[in-house]
Structure 1
Amino acid sequence: MEILLKIFDNIMILSDAMSFYILIGLLIAGVLKQLIPDDFISSQLGANKISSVIKATIFGIPMPVCSCSVIPLAKSLQKEGASKGAVQSFLIATPITGADSIMATYSFFGWIFTIYRVVTAIIIAIVTGIFQNYVDKQDEKKEKAITFSVDKPSEVSDENTCETSCCSGDTHAKNSRFSIKESFNYAFNVLFKDIYVGLFIGLIIGGIFTSLLPKELLQPLFEYQFLTYIAILVISLPLYVCATASLPIAAAFLLSGMSSGAVFVFLSAGPATNSVTMGVVASMFGEKSLFIYLGVISVLSIFFGYVFDNFFYNLEVFDIHSHANEFSLLDTVSTVTMFTLMLYTFLKPKHDHSHEH
């Protein structure tokens, strides 16, 4: 019974630390959803160029979607003619740099870690997209050479036309009038519905890890820096965690003695790579593209984790024990509100058709 109470207390502490920032982040996301036209991004990303990759990353930064809802958006971009590199950049940058994820990251780790996470996510997204497009261009040159040798140029032309135009899907115009009601609806109905299960599970796992995970068991692993990075990478690649929901788990890892750089690897690779996303990337672009996608993310996540450990080692991050008695009434009210929303969303009839992206 004592152990259960300890787990519950730690779950509440984690919730108090992030609930206010999650609610504010969701509200910002709802406003952005009203301001950004639905077809604005897809209309800018068709070219197989570096500019399309950079645009995809920049446009993905303010997009109010999480790791769950970014997948159908990525499919839509592909149908509307976006290049492979642009879609992959969008898949990486969008969930990590969302307003709710940024605010929640700050609540645990402060602005330095938050800014570092966002900037490196942008770099990883751009590098992945550029490398993917470079490989595609090399493959196209080989295909053209082969096609020219057998004197069948028309087949290549038809295929490229399909990729850029005839495979395009329909777009929907956005209502030009700003609606506060729709902003709240998207934030606390549609978007929250995407993340609440993962967030709830993340809080439970974080509370359990914080309460029960023995530091002595993990300490030998943490003594070997790169071994820790690789172990965390192996764990995070298939794990399905949203950028926001992964934060309580990351905080528990940190309190168990893991380095900030290893925590960064988990928060960088986890939201961008999971079993669902892997399957989608493979089905959309093929196994070679999946290998590029996972390879670049893995290498750069470890590299940036190493950089963080060696240049930001004095950074102070959220400490669940020292902050236990520092939360305000606002934090408590935010936690109650967040769990009330979770319960309401769970009990709401499943036939609700308001979930639109």
Structure 2
Amino acid sequence: MEELLQSFWNLSASMGIFIVVGVIIAGILHELIPEDLISRQLGTRGWKSVLKGTLFGIPLPLCSCSVIPFAAELKRKGSSEGAVLSFLISTPITGVDSILATYGMFGWAFTLYRVVTSSIIAVIAGVLANILIKPQIQPVAKFSLNPQTPQTILINKSASEVNRVRSFSLRRALHYGFVSLLGGIASPLLWGLIIGAFISMMIPDNLSHYFSESRWIGYLVAVAIAAPMYVCATASLPIAASLILAGVSPGAAFVFLSAGPATNTVTMGVVKSMLGTKALMIYLGSIVIGSVGFGIVFDLFFDPTAIRGMLSHQEAHGWVENIGAGILLLLIAYNLIQTRLNKKNKSCSGGSCCS
């Protein structure tokens, strides 16, 4: 148990301060950028909207589920299938909080590679969709999600609400970052840390030799686990770090970091119903082939010992990292407790637990 707790704390300290800073920046971006700006920029057809969909998606702190209503609104406003797909792919893989956390754990080269390659995958998928899919004439129905869910973006807004100009509020920015955003990923992030700690503790030492002899197995296993699994970009980092330390190649871990946040069974179903089967095939094919291809390229041209050395070196943390870990875990605990209390209060208001 002591070893498990130590592994858990090491992972938390490696990324805690970067996640805390990241959610603050994400909250500020959310407060500064009008919610309808992206919809207006991507509400047209054409190849430019594919590129814009990719670029707009990079900094937004949305997971593969919370991006769904946003994508539905883009489609309703006339965006091309390519623009919607590119936005659906680039947005969940990155995000300002995930970018900073990736830098904290893996360094600037790995971080830059992750951002650039996810953008390329998104653009390729969008271009293919615009070429291979005929424009849909019939209107697409809106997706209605629970407005009480922290990570939901409401798409049913009145004209006055959309056009209202608000002054910047640091309080709203911090609330969005620490409560709305972090609250939406608190549970998967905690499980990611726990799973990563278990992997670090339980995987045998000789696994490194096994994967070095059969590197292709690492790629295939990463895809098989990542594609159906729901894991956000930030929560996937401790799992990937533990896999690398256990002997999986950094390229295979990159596959997990790329394919995992971009796909899950829920998003697959939405893509099929919203854009059709052909779009779903382009979506999955681009992510799987692109992730594996760029994972192989990473192993060919980057030194894996540097990545492993950086992760191993992080076992000794300074006071800044330890304070960051403490703040992160306290925020996770607070949001989980609040979520539980909200569910209990909602249940009581329905008469199921109150007399």
Give me the TM-score of the superposition, normalised by structure 1: 0.86
Q: Pick from 288, 300, 324: which aligns with 2:315?
A: 324
Map 1:3-152 → 2, pairs under 5 A: 4-137=1-134
Following superposition, the deviation at residue 30 of structure 1 comes to: 0.4
SS at match of 1:40: helix
Q: Give 2:220's aligned residue.
A: 230
Distance 1:221 1:237 in 2: 21
Distance 1:350 1:265 in 2: 36
Distance 2:38 2:246 in 1: 41
For residues 50 and 84 of structure 1, do their structure 2 counterparts lie closer, same or farther at Cα, with a shift above 3 Å needed? same
- Matched to 2:200, the amino acid is T
Give me the TM-score of the superposition, normalised by structure 2: 0.86
Distance 2:292 2:216 in 1: 8
Following superposition, the deviation at residue 95 of structure 1 comes to: 2.1
Following superposition, the deviation at residue 333 of structure 1 comes to: 1.4
1:339 is the counterpart of 2:336: no
Q: Give 1:160's aligned residue.
A: 137
Q: Give 2:195's aligned residue.
A: 205
For residues 323 and 170 of structure 1, do their structure 2 counterparts lie closer, same or farther at Cα, with a shift above 3 Å needed? closer
RMSD: 2.2
Map 1:205-354 → 2, pairs under 5 A: 205-217=195-207, 219-313=209-303, 316-317=306-307, 319-325=310-316, 327-348=317-338, 349-350=341-342
CA contact (8 A) 1:30 1:64 kept: no
- Matched to 1:70, the amino acid is V
Q: Give 1:153's aligned residue.
A: none
- Matched to 2:288, the amino acid is S
Following superposition, the deviation at residue 63 of structure 1 comes to: 1.9
CA contact (8 A) 1:93 1:121 kept: yes
Q: Quick check: 67-76 or 79-88, which moved more? A: 67-76
Following superposition, the deviation at residue 48 of structure 1 comes to: 2.9
CA contact (8 A) 2:16 2:321 kept: yes
Instruction: Structure 1: give runs of 5+ residues left out of the alignment.
Output: 141-158
SS at match of 2:34: coil
Q: Highest Rg: 1 or 2? A: 1
Q: Give CA-to-partner distance per residue, 1:274-327, whole Å, 9 cap, x none.
A: 1121121112112221111001111111111111111112561255543222x1
Identical columns (%): 44
CA contact (8 A) 1:14 1:320 kept: no
Q: Give 1:147's aligned residue.
A: none
Q: Give 2:144's aligned residue.
A: none
For residues 20 and 81 of structure 1, do their structure 2 counterparts lie closer, same or farther at Cα, with a shift above 3 Å needed? same
Distance 1:248 1:97 in 2: 15
Aligned length: 327
Q: Give 1:196's aligned residue.
A: 186
Distance 2:81 2:17 in 1: 37
